């Protein structure tokens, strides 16, 4: 992306969850609050030298860092000195501009990545990003954030009154046999595998031990930790009159591996009992989503959800899609942009234990999400859609579309992967479509499905489309005087 195009993108982008602009006259400590908030949330871009878009528009916002270069220099020094633990990695560039006085100048563009740590200013305040605001956290909210990040692990904590009698003895014996430990002392085996701890003369189960081996963890822990499946007629819930459920929603409880098996069995029965439908000149199954893709979505939800949140995993099945929503936002440094390539286990003991069953539902090789994308592509279906935290701040929602791709989607999708955004004119250019209205209808259709989001005001001149929540990577452009990564 050229410097001119990147500058236009900056001017067209509204301040929100992952983007903020400030003039260079702002106190450096205020800029540090945004850096901390971005790192503690989902990352973002901070542009210094740019006026608030609500005060002036277009090039009139280009005040430049020359307004107060000492402030900007101090800010860059303080990033390394006044934030604990240190922010790493981060990067910044100097973007060349002509300022509002007609002089050569720069904007400072700082890219902060989502962090696995909880960062604070050295004087003690901790911030997160909510909408376009930096919000200071209370002590209780910081603990909640630690659970979300995975720096505090609910699975390691010790529940209340849970005894060995609450466990599924047959399941535990099966697991021990799968791991060549048949006949060993059960408590010692549980301790050696991180599922119990030694206390005094006895042992206590951890939450992970209860979730994995209790007869009913929801009862033993006194919280919702199952899977609720709701199946609907049509493509959206009915909120007036009689609910459009195919049947009463069901709740699956029990040991985690049993929950996964029962959810998969429900899907298999759904496929088996769904009549084929005529698509074009051929009869095709009503459910096109591959079984393995559904299984991976369920397994990921069970393994990586935040069990400190008292809520069930929600599976919503519509005619055109399946939604799998798990409690707790994306863990650690995971974002919708890196979820296909990065790994972070919020519940490593649960992950490890499930993988050590002989009939393990998870491979634990870090390729599951990427394989979901590949298998949907092989089936000519739209890729899985992970909803960004700014739209679902307290959960991870993945949508599996039971829809074959409309012509031209692959072309547009590949263009977006390389260029971040697309306009109606660019759609017509790369597809060969001549009719502006036809391109508009395609963009509208993809937006209604949730595959794209429309960015810009009412004026079509500044309207573009991007994948939901995806931020422009700093690697898309290179024009600056300096590009620094700590």
Domain containing residue 438: CATH number? 1.10.10
- Pair (374, 453) in one structural domain: no
Q: Are 471 and 18 in contact (CB under 8 A)?
A: yes
List for the chain the helix, strand, coil content (%; round to 5): 35, 20, 40
- Pair (123, 232) in one structural domain: no
- Pair (137, 178) in one structural domain: no
Last residue of a domain, one of 172, 194, 219: 219
249 in any annotated domain: yes
- Pair (326, 214) in one structural domain: no
| Alpha-carbon span 40 to 113, nearest angstrom | 9
Instruction: Give me the tens of pLDDT residue by residue for the chain, a chain 486 residues long.
Output: 567 778 888 888 888 888 999 999 999 999 999 999 999 998 999 999 999 988 998 999 999 999 999 999 999 999 999 999 999 888 999 999 999 999 999 999 999 999 999 999 998 899 999 988 999 999 999 999 999 888 899 999 999 888 889 999 999 999 999 999 998 999 999 999 999 999 888 899 999 999 999 999 999 999 999 999 999 999 889 887 789 999 999 999 999 999 999 999 999 999 998 877 766 666 677 899 999 999 999 999 999 999 999 999 999 999 999 999 999 999 999 988 889 988 999 999 999 999 999 988 876 666 789 999 999 999 999 999 999 888 888 999 999 999 989 889 999 999 998 888 899 999 999 999 999 999 999 999 999 888 998 887 555 455 889 888 776 654 444 444 344 443
Give the CATH number, domain containing residue 344: 3.30.565.60
Q: What is the DSSP letter of 237?
A: -
Question: What Rg do the C-alpha atoms of the chain give, in angstroms?
Answer: 25
The pLDDT assigned to 161 comes to: 82
pTM: 0.87
Q: Are 93 and 483 in contact (CB under 8 A)?
A: yes
Residues 6 or more apart whose CB falls under 8 angstroms from that of 423 comprise 463, 464, 465
Q: Are 61 and 105 in contact (CB under 8 A)?
A: no
The pLDDT assigned to 76 comes to: 96
- Pair (396, 249) in one structural domain: yes
Q: Are 202 and 190 in contact (CB under 8 A)?
A: no
Q: How far is CA 457 from CA 12, 49, 341, 454, 464, in A?
A: 9, 23, 34, 9, 10
53 in any annotated domain: yes
Look up the domain containing 170 and give its range: 154-219
- Pair (376, 450) in one structural domain: no
Last residue of a domain, one of 380, 401, 422: 401
- Pair (107, 163) in one structural domain: no
**Beta-carbon count within 10 A of 470 CB:** 17
- Pair (440, 374) in one structural domain: no
| Alpha-carbon span 345 to 332, nearest angstrom | 8
The pLDDT assigned to 232 comes to: 95
- Pair (382, 266) in one structural domain: yes
- 169: its two tokens: 């003895």
The H-or-E segment that residue 284 falls in is strand 282-284
426 in any annotated domain: yes
- Pair (416, 353) in one structural domain: no
Q: Count up the domains in the chain and report the number.
A: 4
The pLDDT assigned to 473 comes to: 57
- Pair (295, 376) in one structural domain: yes
- Which residues on neighbouring strands pair with residue 245, listed in sequence order? 232
- Pair (211, 239) in one structural domain: no
């Amino acid at each position: 992306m050229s410097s001119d195009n990147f500058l236009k993108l900056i001017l067209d982008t509204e301040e929100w969850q992952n983007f903020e602009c400030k003039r260079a006259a702002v106190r450096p400590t205020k800029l540090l609050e945004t850096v901390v908030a971005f790192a503690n949330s989902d990352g973002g871009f901070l542009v210094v030298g740019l006026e608030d878009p609500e005060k002036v528009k277009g090039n009139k916002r280009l005040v430049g860092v020359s307004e107060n270069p000492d402030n900007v220099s101090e800010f860059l020094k303080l990033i390394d000195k006044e934030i604990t633990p240190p922010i790493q990695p981060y990067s910044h560039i100097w973007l060349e501009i002509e300022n509002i006085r007609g002089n050569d100048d720069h904007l400072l563009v700082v890219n902060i990545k989502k962090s696995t740590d909880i960062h604070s200013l050295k004087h003690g305040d901790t911030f997160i990003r909510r909408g376009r605001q930096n919000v200071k956290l209370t002590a209780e909210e910081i603990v909640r954030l630690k659970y979300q990040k995975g720096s505090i692990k609910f699975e390691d904590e010790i529940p209340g009154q849970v005894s060995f009698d609450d466990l599924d003895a047959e399941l535990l014996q099966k697991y021990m046999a799968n791991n060549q430990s048949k006949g060993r002392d059960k408590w010692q085996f549980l301790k050696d595998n991180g599922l119990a701890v030694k206390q005094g003369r006895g042992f206590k189960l951890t939450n992970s031990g209860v979730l994995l081996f209790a007869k009913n963890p929801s009862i033993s822990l006194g919280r919702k930790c199952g899977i609720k499946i709701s199946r609907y007629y049509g493509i959206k819930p009915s909120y007036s009159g009689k609910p459009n459920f195919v049947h009463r929603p069901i709740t699956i409880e029990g040991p985690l591996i049993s929950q996964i098996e029962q959810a998969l069995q429900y899907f298999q029965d759904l496929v088996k009992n769904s009549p084929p439908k005529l698509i074009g000149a051929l009869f095709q199954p009503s459910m096109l989503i591959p079984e393995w893709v559904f299984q991976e979505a369920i397994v990921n939800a069970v393994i990586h959800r935040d069990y400190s949140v008292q809520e069930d995993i929600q599976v919503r099945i519509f005619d055109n899609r399946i939604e799998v929503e798990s409690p707790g936002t994306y863990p650690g440094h995971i974002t919708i942009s890196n979820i296909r390539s990065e790994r972070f286990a919020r519940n490593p003991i649960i992950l490890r234990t499930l993988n050590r069953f002989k009939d393990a539902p998870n491979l634990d090789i870090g390729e599951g999400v990427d394989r979901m994308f590949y298998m949907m592509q092989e089936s000519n279906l739209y890729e899985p859609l992970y909803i960004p935290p700014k739209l679902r701040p307290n959960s991870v929602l993945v949508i599996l579309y039971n829809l074959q791709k409309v012509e031209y989607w692959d072309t547009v999708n590949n263009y977006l992967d390389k260029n971040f955004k697309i306009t109606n004119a660019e759609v017509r250019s790369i597809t060969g479509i001549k009719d502006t209205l036809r391109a508009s209808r395609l963009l509208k259709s993809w937006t209604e499905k949730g595959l794209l989001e429309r960015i810009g005001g009412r004026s079509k001149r500044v309207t573009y489309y991007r994948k939901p929540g995806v931020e422009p990577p700093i690697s898309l452009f290179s024009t600056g005087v300096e590009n620094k990564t700590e």
